[in-house]
Amino acid sequence: MCRTLGVVMLLVAPMGGVSPEYKVDFPSLERAFSAYIQHPGLSTAQEVERLLPPGSADRHVGVFDVAAAERIFAQLEALETLTKRAQPDAVDVAFALISISDGIYTEELLTMIAGSMDAEPAVFLQALKKHRDRLFATCELATDTGLDYVDDPRGELKLLEQRLKKIERVNKPELEEGKRCVLKSLRGTVNAMRAQLK
């Protein structure tokens, strides 16, 4: 049971409303993303975020550089390694890249972001708070398990139960609102899956 597809279909706008469309400076973005991958850190991540603000990229022919986007997404494996460690700047970069992603790349990025919760749930909650004006930055993202569990609903349930316990243990007042929202989403999904698997 793949949670990503449900998230992609249901959550197509940021919580703040309609998102602006903008033209991406792809040469600068390629340089910035390569610099981030080579030297991951706050300053290199901020440059990627600056070039991909909340909103969506103008995808008109002649404006959107498909080849440049493909070259960026060819480096996602390196970004995934960092998000699995719940490196906050990596999660920020993953959120930013959603502005230029489509289809399978969006699914990969969402799974990376949700997976950061498995290493450090507070990083995930902080990212949801920081990126609330970006596409897909909603509490339901916590239920995204990617494609690894398509044929393993019991394994997926176990992972979501683990996430639920981890989020419950987060004790940071500034993240309380997001924590409540994520807990509600996780509990709803876990309870529904338990009922189905009886």
Q: Indicate the angle between helix axes 104-119 and 76-84, nearest 10 degrees.
A: 20
pLDDT digits (tens, 9 = 90+) for 82-114: 999 999 999 999 999 999 998 899 999 999 999
Tell me what the mean pLDDT of segment 162-170 comes to: 98
- Residue 182 has a pLDDT of 98
Q: Examine the pLDDT at 10 and tell me if it is beyond 90.
A: no
CB atoms inside a 10 Å sphere around CB 31: 13
Tell me what the mean pLDDT of segment 143-149 comes to: 92
- Residue 9 has a pLDDT of 34
pTM equals 0.89
Tell me what the mean pLDDT of segment 47-68 comes to: 92
For CA atoms 127, 129, 134, 138, give the dihedral sign: positive
- Residue 19 has a pLDDT of 65
- Residue 62 has a pLDDT of 84
- Residue 38 has a pLDDT of 97
Q: Examine the pLDDT at 58 and tell me if it is beyond 60.
A: yes
Q: Examine the pLDDT at 36 and tell me if it is beyond 60.
A: yes
Amino acid at 46: Q
Q: Which two tokens stand for residue 97?
A: 């890249």
Tell me what the mean pLDDT of segment 112-122 comes to: 97
- Residue 11 has a pLDDT of 41
Give me the percent of the chain exceeding a pLDDT of 70.
90
pLDDT confidence tier of residue 8, bands split at 50, 70 and 90: very low
Tell me what the mean pLDDT of segment 126-150 comes to: 94
Q: Examine the pLDDT at 16 and tell me if it is beyond 50.
A: no
CA separation for the pair 130, 49 (Å, rounded): 12
Q: Region of 134 please: left (phi>0), alpha (psi -120 to 50) or beta.
A: beta
Q: Region of 6 please: left (phi>0), alpha (psi -120 to 50) or beta.
A: alpha
- Residue 166 has a pLDDT of 98
Judge whether 167 and 182 are in contact, CB under 8 Å: yes
For CA atoms 56, 61, 64, 66, give the dihedral sign: positive
Question: What are phi and psi for residue 134, nearest 5 degrees?
Answer: -100, 160
- Residue 67 has a pLDDT of 95
